Amino acid sequence: MKVLIIGSGGREHALTWKILQSKKVLKIYCAPGNPGTALLAKNIDISSCDIKSLLKFVQKEKIDLTIVGPEAPLILGIVDLFEKNNLAIIGPSKRAAQIEGSKVFAKKIMLWNNIPTAKFVCFDDYKSASKYLKTQKYPLVIKAEGQCLGKGVSVCQDDKSAQKFVKDIFINKIFKDEGKRIVIEEYLTGQEISFMVATDGINFASLIPSQDHKGAYDGDKGPNTGGMGAYAPVPFVDSDMVRRIEDEIVKPTLRSLAKHGNLYKGILYPGLILTKDGPKVLEYNCRFGDPETQAVLSLLETDIIDVFEAINNQQVKRLKLRWFKSSAVNVVLAAKGYPKEYEKGKVIKGTDKYKGKKDVFIFHAGTKIQNKKLLSCGGRVIGVTARGKNLKEAIDKAYKNIGKKGIHFPGMHYRKDIGKKGLIPKL
Ligand code: AMP
Ligand code: GLY
């Protein structure tokens, strides 16, 4: 089988690594991929959002299966385009992908189906939003409609900052064509977890729960990032909690999508917060999480192509996932300045010695090769993923491989507390 993976981050490198282990796969292509995927597959210079060129490539090369990493091509409708041309692709249709693309769509599904989430109100004009904010208690959360370059969510501590954000959205149009509607919602507290399921739209198989670390600095301090590291499984999410999440969140979400003609196929990843009243949905994602996938896939024993085939053949009911009885941690090494303006072009050292290693994996994200040197070119540069017999061992192993004795580059910054939340038995 020939497989194409769309995307260029750490998640796609981890997917390539895992797919390469499948006996069913002969050749892997990545579009556009990164220097890490280039070691395992053939990189093709087509951007993830150029869905027409991707279609042409797949037809020409007779690719048997396409896996979509990031949300953007899904929201653009790559699955609809491919399926119209009788091509196998993993991911939801354009309409179903709205669950990530539109905060209002997602909130409506939750409201109609009593799926636990923060209380909310929607607005599409500045005046009413501003008036409403004046009557509210703080903190509260404002979410702009659309992708908004990942900057559409603001946790506001007071009326002044909330008023500024809605003015920026509606009057100053900082998100240009996006942000035409906003959701203002209650601020929730609790541990955040990532819960991914593989689904054919009717049945689903839950992947092991994981936890991302979104704050730029230790203790979840600092600005929000794409994710500074992740670990899996999460010790304080026991089997009762998993069942509750499946019953109260995953099942009604899939049922509602199917009922309204948006059968959801692929990976559904609700981002959850475990409040004192139970798990609640913060957002839905229509894809694998990054950096959670790097940790989760390194623990998956099942051939991942079996998972994808089950999704496409409506056989998820029969799918039984097997996991290694270990823990995994992925620490992201970021460029100096990230998530604000950051440095680029720094030489990354130490990657060579990890080839073929069984318990430490290096997944590239923002890297490039220039003059035969591996250089940084993105905010989240490279991730160090380690597997251990327990979480403590995985954490120690990951950190041992960062710095002068492992992976390093000038100015790199990373959190020193990835996985620490999982070391506390009950939260
Ligand atoms: P989202 O893109 O909706 O996941 O929001 C990004 C981040 O904002 C989340 O990971 C949370 O840390 C925070 N956040 C979003 N919604 C809420 C909420 N209702 N209460 C507290 N924090 C939130
Ligand atoms: N780890 C957050 C995300 O993938 O959206």
Binding site membership of 212 for ligand 2 (Cβ less than 6 Å): yes
Nearest residue CA, atom 16 of ligand 1? Answer: 282
Concatenate the DSSP letters of all residues of 94-137 into one string: TTTTHHHH-HHHHHHHHHHTT--B--EEEESSHHHHHHHHHT--
Q: What is the pLDDT of residue 148?
A: 87
Binding site membership of 185 for ligand 1 (Cβ less than 6 Å): yes
CA distance 156 to 170: 17
> Nearest to residue 282, comparing CAs of 157, 195, 209?
195
367 CA from centroid of ligand 2 (Å): 19
CA distances in angstroms from 355 to 36, 362, 393, 399, 405, listed in the order given: 11, 9, 21, 18, 15
pLDDT in tens, the chain (427 residues): 999 999 999 999 999 999 999 999 999 999 999 999 999 999 999 999 999 999 999 999 999 999 999 999 999 999 999 999 999 999 999 999 999 999 999 999 999 999 999 999 999 999 999 999 999 999 999 999 988 877 899 999 999 999 999 999 999 999 999 999 999 999 999 999 999 999 999 999 999 999 999 999 999 999 889 999 999 999 999 999 999 999 999 999 999 999 999 999 999 999 999 999 999 999 999 999 999 999 999 999 999 999 999 999 999 999 999 999 999 999 999 999 999 999 999 999 999 999 889 999 999 999 999 999 999 999 999 999 999 999 999 999 999 999 999 999 999 999 999 999 999 765 4
Q: What is the pLDDT of residue 146?
A: 87
Ligand 2: which of 290, 293, 331 to mutate, most ligand atoms within 8 Å of CB? Answer: 290
Q: What is the pLDDT of residue 319?
A: 97
Binding site membership of 100 for ligand 2 (Cβ less than 6 Å): no
Nearest residue CA, atom 3 of ligand 1? Answer: 283
| 275 membership: H or E segment, kind and range | strand 266-275
Is 217 exposed, middle or buried (CB count within 10 Å of its CB: 0-12, 13-18, 19+)?
A: middle
Domains of the chain (ranges plus CATH)? 2-91 (3.40.50.20), 119-186 (3.30.1490.20), 191-318 (3.30.470.20), 327-423 (3.90.600.10)
> Nearest to residue 298, comparing CAs of 324, 322, 320, 319?
324
246 CA from centroid of ligand 1 (Å): 20
Kindly report the pTM of this predicted structure.
0.96
Q: Answer whether 172's CB lies under 8 Å from 156's CB.
A: no
> Nearest to residue 421, comparing CAs of 251, 191, 198, 154?
191
Taking the CA of 9 as reference, the closest ligand is: 2
Binding site membership of 118 for ligand 1 (Cβ less than 6 Å): yes
Paired sense of beta strands 2-7 and 65-68, if any: parallel
380 backbone dihedrals φ, ψ, rounded to 5°: -90, 110
Question: Which residues touch 177 (CB under 8 Å, ≥6 apart)?
Answer: 146
265 CA from centroid of ligand 2 (Å): 19
Tokens 């220097």, located at residue: 35
Nearest residue CA, atom 7 of ligand 1? Answer: 153
291 CA from centroid of ligand 2 (Å): 7
Binding site membership of 235 for ligand 2 (Cβ less than 6 Å): no
Ligand 2 atom closest to the CA of 290, numbered from 1? 4
Q: What is the pLDDT of residue 426?
A: 52
Taking the CA of 155 as reference, the closest ligand is: 1
Nearest residue CA, atom 5 of ligand 1? Answer: 153
Taking the CA of 192 as reference, the closest ligand is: 1
